[in-house]
Amino acid sequence: MEQFRHVGEALGGLKALMVFRENIEFNQRQCCLLLDVFTFAYDLIAEEIKQNLIFLEKRTKWKVLEQPLKEIHKIFKEGEAYIKKCLESETKDWWVKAITLYKNNDCVEFNLHNLLSSIPIVIEAIESAVEIAGWDREEMERKRLINCNKYRKEYRDMSLFQWKFGKQYLVTRDFRNRYDTVWKEDRWFLLNKIREKKLAMSTKFENQLTDVLLRQLEKAGSLGVELLPSSILVGSKDYQVRRRLGNGSLYKEIIWLGESFAVKHFFGDIEAMEQDITSLLSLSHPNIVECLCGFCDEEKKECFLVMELMSKNLCTHIEEVYGPKKRVTLALPVAVDLMLQIARGMEYLHSKKIYHGELNPSNILIKPRGTFTEGYLYAKVSGFGQVGFKNSKQKGTSNLNETLPFIWYAPEVLEEQEQGGDTVNSKYTEKSDVYSFGMVCFELLTGKVPFEDSHLRGEKMSRNIRTGERPLFTYSCPKYVTNLTKKCWNADPNQRPSFSSICRMLRYIKKFLATNPNYNSPLDPAVPPVDYCDIESTLLKKFPSWGSSGASPIYQIPFQMFAYRVIEKEKISLGSNYNSESGSEASANGDELVTSGEELYPSRSDEKYLVGPDDLTMNRRILSSRRSFDEKASRQPGTPKSRSASARPPPMTLSGRSMRIKSETPLMTPSPRIRRTKSGHVSDSELSLSRHTTDRFSR
């Protein structure tokens, strides 16, 4: 209840700002859309709670809502900060706000994206609370059946889903149209406003700034964006270089128009690089470092690209957080959120047929994310589009990872470099970027640079990477995250997922973390009932276009998460049915049931594998079946009562054995305990022995 009150307070603050909507000169329509959608979302959540939950149970059975509502509160506060930023034009230089906001689409691609990703989580949390609300068992069973009927195969059609649940998931026809057009409307109004200002301009400098924005807006989204004379930038009275960024001289922090920017200053053949530079100027996404405007001097053969200033890179942040002893780790929700932001930035670049080639923590820039204390950050991908000017004269540049640059490269890239001996002209692809992303995820989750524990260096390590060696995760890293990472660095590029698939899986992992606050319990951590990589593979067969490199519109996100939930329920149901059938066959064999019962029914320490937001009833059935099995065994003729209790081996603790769910079968098969090295890693020989032993048990 307290979190719901915080959400209402955040919405009130947002409404108070929008009283002055007429004073918003930049992105006014996007701010209005934000207010309309947030208000609709709050009213929807309030109505769902009012109709389905009991107020007197707010301190007990509403617990499942706490973390999802906390996420909604964070999203509302970020929306309020966005509106404040657009209102600041009254106190800051008008031209500064125009340059920084003229192609900003954070309203849709960041704020509304986060809301549409979180609203399915809140809805499922309410449905889960509904099933245990009250004390009437018949009423609880009826509500459970209603919720189960919602997730039917028929609704895996997007058009049918939007017709049936569009209002509940904020994807009505009106909202979908506004998501697509609101950004274009704001650009059109800004273009007209600049033209009006041009007629009233009196100074030469103001006329030059007007020309800068007019040329950018008139050719926005195309590759015809022009480079302007560098005199407009460096000839400005308040232009000042404050410091160099990083170890080289390529990036600098500057003061221009009273605001701090980052500028990329390099030399080379401008005419030869112009196509690459103008393509960078046409890009716009919340999770990439955008080039706001570009200037050049063809005589001096130098170029200036003005960008948003960030705080530091991810490499530096990881070193600061983890420390030299690697004892402190990023909170898992924070790490997964960063992974999703990086994946979204790469998804956008790949949709524009731009392949990075140098994706690593030093090319991911971050800055604080509002006033939140949980450690959440903004992440933006930088360093892309380097292919056209890697040969440009860059005095004093250096790579933070230059001692081991190949640890981020895919095996096929290393193979090509080995054969051609040229790193500049290597042909980077979508799949090679996915491999690099997997290595970035490893460092985020462990705090270690990949292969830093290896005794091999140089060419020997490069050869081992090409032959299949990968870094080893620590014991504490959850499998549902490491499985995705391992798919990203698969030796076969065709087996690696696209960034669109990665984004879908990471959104669902975020959902799992929000609905299972005991995910980090040291004794009994929650584990997803189904492998999300398996769900993604199933959906790609149904929707082959989802596997492409194109970025999907944000209004498809609720449907994608809904489809994930449908498949998840199907797989859980199949597993439950398989267990029931196996139990029936075993009961016909008398005493055989007693010896095989441990495999069919999980112990209490393993029930976490079956817990989902609304799968509590399924667990009760399994426990009920187990009790009936005990009673049958105890009633067998000629069998002492003590035998039934001692015939089944006692359930072992997590320290005695580990349980896992295979994607091929719903049964939980015991795997022998794996001995670990002092560093906490598992050797390849031990893993292969474990697999062999597990296969022997399953047979």
How, if at all, do strands 291-297 and 228-229 pair?
parallel
CB atoms under 10 Å from CB of 417, counted, come to: 17
pLDDT at 421: 57
CB atoms under 10 Å from CB of 406, counted, come to: 20
**Quick check: 291 and 280 in contact, CB under 8 A?**
yes
**Quick check: 441 and 318 in contact, CB under 8 A?**
no
pLDDT at 567: 92
Q: How many CA atoms does the CB half-sphere of 91 hold within 13 Å?
A: 5
List the beta bridge partners of residue 256. Answer: 259
Strand spans (E) along 286-355: 291-297, 302-307, 312-313
pLDDT at 632: 46
Q: Dihedral sign, CA of 198, 199, 202, 204?
A: positive
Q: Which residues of 599-622 are buried (b: 16+ CB within 10 A; e: fewer)?
A: bbbbeeebebbbbbbbbebbbeeb
**Quick check: 261 and 309 in contact, CB under 8 A?**
yes
Tokens 């079968």 found at: 665
Q: Which of 117, 104, 108, 123 is nearest to 51 (CA)?
A: 123
**Quick check: 249 and 255 in contact, CB under 8 A?**
no
Six token digits for residue 100: 């920084």
Q: Which of 59, 60, 78, 74 is nearest to 2 (CA)?
A: 59
| 572-581 per-position pLDDT tens digit | 888 766 555 5
Tokens 């042909």 found at: 427
Predicted TM-score of the model (pTM):
0.80
CA-CA-CA-CA dihedral for 672, 675, 679, 681, to nearest 10: -40
**Quick check: 101 and 44 in contact, CB under 8 A?**
no
| 589-610 per-position pLDDT tens digit | 434 333 333 333 333 334 344 3
pLDDT at 636: 46
Q: Dihedral sign, CA of 659, 664, 665, 666?
A: positive
CB atoms under 10 Å from CB of 253, counted, come to: 15
Residues in the chain with pLDDT values less than 50: 223, 387-402, 584-623, 625-627, 629-694, 696-699
User: What is the separation of C-alpha 150 from the centre of its chain, rounded to a whole number of angstroms?
Assistant: 26
